[in-house]
Each structure stands twice: as structure tokens, then as C-alpha cells.
């Protein structure tokens, strides 16, 4: 396996304050052009939301020019970033300074604003929490058509608009749109050395995770990133990443691996105990094959992969293919023709307390039977009412993205509903980027409905934005 030539750096493209202000002015003008009786929504090209939404009726908010990095302060280790800036672009800019955001979600086109308002997670989340927890302040375009700067409470007391700041994560644009975010960055060297550690029992896996969260080390070696994959009952792996100045594996220099070519990253987890990647390739290791989901399009079959252009081995390309499949019902038609039972799409990320992950995986195997499952430990560092994980407690994010043949009940989403119920029985939480089925009372209890309503009323008194419940459950 050889490393492809060093990834090409585009010219530095910081946009600066002036151009940022022009884009905000454009956004405001587009807001003014929307009739007061119409609801306001984003006009944005990419999305990593999975739930289906009602088609937009009007022109939407013009967010063009809000997709850049405004500036980076290498000494202070912060960046000012526009709300619709993708992590792909953000990381390209910060890596020039040997810095990365505290948490970099795995899919290249996830935007900073999307990850903060719709949550995100990655392998540094066991020590850095979720992306919104390293935001220092945000400019938010509210339903009243004004931009307010909201910041976290500091040692001297409440930050400005602290209620909006705290309630914003997991509000999915129902409280406003972040136009600028100041985030913290952390230093990284050039390489990530990986250990793929196998576990046969879920309890031992959970104990190892708890130990690493406490000690930040495994077998005496520092752990900077930790995620895992459950391939099958009794086959669990933790991938432990250690930042490294040189491409060393097991004490020997080695060519960093490249999983954007013919080799597929997730398979390497079962095949090798140690590995090394550039930090750049480590951050995007899951994007190339959208975890394992590219297999559904044949992209992992060597005969097809050989001809699949490298630049199209990316999650946003598969997302578009999936959109076409849904639009034209291709998989459903093929199933009907082959006499297979109708499919239910089961695309969810859930958080379960670490000590219950074995229970969840056993139940999931018996009731849903879909594998692999991605596992990512996280510890929230603060209290966030719209996604109330217990601060300081270790949870495991379990992510599963696929279909199950359930037959004629498929439109009623029986597996998705069962997962929703199980997660809450185990004391967990469910992300809202995909289908949700809660009744209003349960939803309000889980996501602090009264607080959401009070904050929305303060910043969007005329209800120009759709409520979180209407977005997440009623699919508006």
C-alpha cells in the first residue's frame, strides 16, 4: 500500500471581516425579501440530514459567501469561521498552522454551523466533548432579522445572550442561523499512529473505554483519539490513535497507509493490529467510503472501484446517489422484482451510557440485526438543555446506517420506533438528524421543551422559523 502524493493545498483562502460582513448583509436582504407570512428556511446546496423534509415553497435565506474561514489566530489557537463553512475547508486552513478543531466530524461536507446546531461527534469526543463545547462565541441571525453575538458564561458570570448560546446545540436552526463562530483549536503533528485492539466481550470493551477515558492511555501509550466498530456479536474493535511526529508503527518508520485508493479503511481494522496515517487522512478516514455504506453502490468491489474516480469516493457523492435512489425508488423496485420483503431504512446515531452498551448491542442484534455498528465514546463537558447528556458521564455513540427487510410494515418504521424506545429505557439519547417519532409531551420532556419555547419566543417572537418539533418529528 503506498501513500498517494501529498494532498494538494489550495492557496490560503481566508476571507476576512469585510467580505464576511457583505455576506451577512446579503443574508439580511434575502430575509427582508421573504413575505412576513412565510416561514424562513435555508437555501443551502449540501446537507447531511437524513430525515425527509417538506419542499421549500419560497426562495429561502441566501447563505452564499458564508462558507469560508474569516481568520485564524495561531497563537491564541482560535478561528473565526462562517456558519456554512465545511469541515473539509476549515481543516485545510487550520492544518497549515498545525492546528485542528477540537472535534472534526467525519463527513467532509458537514458544516460548522450544522455540527453545532445539529450535533456532531468524533474520536476526540472522549476528551473534548461535542463540537459545540469548544465554541467560544457565535453570531446568530435570529427570527427577528437581527444578528446577536451569543457567548458562553465565563468565570465572571453569564455571557451575552447566554440563554440562546446554551439552548442552540441540537436546535437545528429553529432558533436562528449561526453566521460566525469563534472556536478553539488544538495542535496536532503530521501523523496518527493507530492500534486496532480486539475485544470478544462487550463488557471488556466497555471497561477498556472507561479506563481510557480516565487515564487517557492504553498499555502505557497516550491515546488522543478513540472510536470503535462492532462487526458482529463477539467481534469488537477499539481504534486508538496517538498523534505522532513521524510515521512510526511499532517502533519502525513506515509509509503512511492510503485508504482513498483500492484499500478500504474499515476492513483494515480487522486485518491489521497497527497502522499509521497522516493526520489529514485520519480525519477523513471514514468519509472515503461513508464508513462502510459505499458498499451499497458497489464502490468496494475492486472491479468497480478501479474505475470509480478517486475524487468521487466521498460521502457527499454517495449521499447524492442515495437521494436518487429514494427519488426513483430503485432499491424498492429491485426488491419487489426479486420477491424480497420491503425495506425499512434504519439510519440513526444514539448515545447510551458506557455501562449499558453491551445490553444495547445484544438487543440490537436480536431485534434489528444490522452490522457493523460504529462506536464512539464521548463525555460532555457541560450542560446543554436541548441535548441533556449528563456532564462528565461517559456515553457511547452507536451509529448504524442501513436497511432491514421487514415486509409490509416498513412504512410504519417499526425498527426505528423500537430503537427510540430502547435508547430511553437504557438512559440514553437520540440524535435528531434522522427520523424521530416522539409525541409532543415526550419530546418536550427529553429536549427541555419549555426552555426551547421560551428562548424561541424571545428571539423569534413572530415564529418566522419552524419549531424544533415540527422540523425533527413532523418533517417540515
Ligand X SMILES: Cc1cc2nc3c(=O)[nH]c(=O)nc-3n(C[C@H](O)[C@H](O)[C@H](O)COP(=O)(O)OP(=O)(O)OC[C@H]3O[C@@H](n4cnc5c(N)ncnc54)[C@H](O)[C@@H]3O)c2cc1C
CB of 471 to ligand X, least distance (A): 6
Can you tell me which residue has the cell 439519547? Answer: 429
Binding ligand X (rule: CB under 6 A), the pick from 30, 47, 254, 342 is 47
CB of 190 to ligand X, least distance (A): 24
Site for ligand X in 147-176 (CB under 6 A): 172-173
Decide whether 244 or 394 has the Cβ nearer to ligand X: 394
Decide whether 44 or 313 has the Cβ nearer to ligand X: 44
Can you tell me which residue has the cell 445490553? Answer: 359
Decide whether 3 or 19 has the Cβ nearer to ligand X: 19
Q: Are 125 and 396 in contact (CB under 8 A)?
A: no
Quick one: which of 318, 421, 323 has its CA closest to 367? 421
Q: Are 176 and 41 in contact (CB under 8 A)?
A: no
Q: Does 49 bind ligand X (CB under 6 A)?
A: yes
Stretch that binds ligand X, among 13-21, 108-116, 324-332, 382-390 (CB under 6 A): 108-116
Q: Does 135 bind ligand X (CB under 6 A)?
A: no
Q: Are 471 and 452 in contact (CB under 8 A)?
A: no
CB of 95 to ligand X, least distance (A): 19
Binding mask 176-205 for ligand X (x = CB under 6 A): -xx---------------------------
Binding ligand X (rule: CB under 6 A), the pick from 27, 69, 99, 115 is 115
Binding ligand X (rule: CB under 6 A), the pick from 50, 297, 363, 437 is 50
Stretch that binds ligand X, among 28-36, 45-53, 264-272, 324-332 (CB under 6 A): 45-53
Number of Cβ within 10 Å of residue 56's Cβ equals 13
Quick one: which of 59, 19, 31, 57 has its CA closest to 43? 59
Binding mask 452-471 for ligand X (x = CB under 6 A): -------------------x
Number of Cβ within 10 Å of residue 408's Cβ equals 8
Q: Does 120 bind ligand X (CB under 6 A)?
A: yes
- How many binding residues for ligand X (CB under 6 A)? 30
Number of Cβ within 10 Å of residue 338's Cβ equals 7
Decide whether 24 or 84 has the Cβ nearer to ligand X: 84
CA distance 174 to 178: 11
Spatial neighbors of 453 by CB under 8 A, at least 6 apart, are: none
Binding ligand X (rule: CB under 6 A), the pick from 401, 443, 447, 459 is 401
Strands (E) in 170-291, as ranges, are: 177-187, 191-199, 217-218, 221-222, 225-232, 235-244, 248-249, 252-253, 274-278
Decide the pairing of beta strands 61-62 and 42-43: parallel
Binding mask 332-351 for ligand X (x = CB under 6 A): ---------------x-x--
Binding ligand X (rule: CB under 6 A), the pick from 68, 114, 228, 372 is 114
Binding ligand X (rule: CB under 6 A), the pick from 78, 94, 111, 242 is 111
Helices 315-328, 330-338: axis angle to 10 degrees equals 60
Binding ligand X (rule: CB under 6 A), the pick from 70, 92, 99, 118 is 118
Alpha helices in 181-314 (DSSP H): 202-215, 265-271, 279-283, 302-305
Query: Which strand (E) or helix (H) includes residue 32?
Result: helix 16-32
Q: Are 51 and 475 in contact (CB under 8 A)?
A: yes
| C-alpha cell belonging to residue 452 | 426551547
Binding ligand X (rule: CB under 6 A), the pick from 110, 194, 269, 373 is 110
Decide whether 84 or 452 has the Cβ nearer to ligand X: 84
| C-alpha cell belonging to residue 151 | 457567548
Binding mask 410-439 for ligand X (x = CB under 6 A): -----------------------x------
Number of Cβ within 10 Å of residue 465's Cβ equals 23
Question: What is residue 385's three-state secondary structure?
Answer: coil
Binding ligand X (rule: CB under 6 A), the pick from 159, 169, 399, 402 is 399
Q: Enumerate binding residues for ligand X (CB under 6 A).
A: 42, 44, 47-50, 83-84, 105-106, 109-111, 113-115, 117-118, 120-121, 172-173, 177-178, 347, 349, 399, 401, 433, 471
Amino acid at each position: 500500500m503506498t501513500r498517494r502524493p501529498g494532498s494538494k493545498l489550495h492557496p490560503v483562502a481566508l476571507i476576512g471581516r469585510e467580505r464576511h460582513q457583505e455576506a451577512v448583509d446579503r443574508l439580511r436582504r434575502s430575509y427582508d425579501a421573504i413575505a412576513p407570512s412565510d416561514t424562513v428556511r435555508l437555501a443551502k446546496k449540501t446537507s447531511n440530514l437524513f430525515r425527509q423534509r417538506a419542499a421549500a415553497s419560497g426562495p429561502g435565506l441566501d447563505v452564499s459567501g458564508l462558507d469560508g474561514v474569516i481568520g485564524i489566530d495561531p497563537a491564541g489557537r482560535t478561528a473565526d469561521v462562517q456558519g456554512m463553512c465545511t469541515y473539509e475547508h476549515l481543516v485545510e486552513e487550520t492544518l497549515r498552522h498545525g492546528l485542528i478543531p477540537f472535534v472534526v466530524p467525519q463527513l467532509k461536507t458537514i458544516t460548522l454551523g450544522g455540527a453545532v446546531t445539529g450535533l456532531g461527534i468524533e474520536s476526540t469526543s472522549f476528551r473534548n466533548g461535542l463540537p459545540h463545547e469548544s465554541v467560544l462565541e457565535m453570531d446568530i441571525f435570529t427570527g427577528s432579522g437581527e444578528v446577536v453575538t451569543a457567548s458562553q458564561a465565563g468565570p465572571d458570570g453569564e455571557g451575552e445572550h447566554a440563554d440562546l448560546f446554551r439552548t442552540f446545540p441540537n436546535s437545528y436552526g429553529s432558533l436562528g442561523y449561526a453566521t460566525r463562530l469563534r472556536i478553539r483549536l488544538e495542535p496536532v503533528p503530521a501523523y496518527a499512529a493507530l492500534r486496532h485492539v480486539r475485544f470478544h466481550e462487550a463488557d471488556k470493551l466497555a471497561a477498556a473505554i472507561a479506563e481510557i477515558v480516565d487515564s487517557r492511555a492504553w498499555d502505557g501509550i497516550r491515546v488522543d483519539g478513540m472510536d470503535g466498530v462492532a462487526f458482529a456479536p463477539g467481534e469488537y474493535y477499539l481504534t486508538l490513535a496517538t498523534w505522532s511526529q513521524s510515521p512510526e508503527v511499532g517502533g519502525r518508520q513506515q509509509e503512511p497507509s492510503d485508504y482513498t485508493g483500492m484499500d478500504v479503511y474499515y476492513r483494515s481494522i480487522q486485518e491489521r493490529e497497527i497502522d499509521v496515517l497522516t493526520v489529514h487522512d485520519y480525519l477523513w478516514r471514514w468519509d472515503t467510503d461513508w464508513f462502510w455504506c459505499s458498499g451499497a453502490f458497489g464502490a468496494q468491489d475492486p472491479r468497480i472501484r478501479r474505475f470509480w474516480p478517486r475524487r468521487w469516493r466521498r460521502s457527499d457523492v454517495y449521499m447524492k446517489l442515495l437521494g436518487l435512489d429514494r427519488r426513483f425508488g430503485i432499491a424498492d423496485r429491485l426488491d419487489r422484482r426479486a420477491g424480497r420483503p420491503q425495506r425499512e431504512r434504519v439510519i440513526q446515531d444514539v448515545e447510551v451510557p458506557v455501562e449499558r452498551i453491551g445490553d444495547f448491542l445484544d438487543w440490537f442484534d436480536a431485534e434489528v440485526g444490522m452490522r457493523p455498528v460504529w462506536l464512539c465514546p464521548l463525555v460532555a463537558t457541560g450542560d446543554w438543555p436541548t441535548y441533556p447528556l449528563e456532564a462528565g458521564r461517559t456515553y457511547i455513540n452507536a451509529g448504524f446506517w442501513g436497511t432491514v427487510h421487514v415486509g409490509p410494515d416498513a412504512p410504519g418504521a417499526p425498527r426505528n420506533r423500537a430503537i427510540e424506545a430502547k435508547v430511553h429505557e437504557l438512559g440514553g439519547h437520540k440524535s435528531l438528524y434522522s427520523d424521530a417519532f416522539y409525541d409532543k409531551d415526550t419530546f418536550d420532556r427529553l429536549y427541555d421543551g419549555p426552555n426551547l419555547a421560551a428562548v424561541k419566543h424571545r428571539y423569534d417572537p413572530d415564529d418566522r422559523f419552524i419549531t424544533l418539533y415540527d422540523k425533527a418529528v413532523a418533517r417540515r
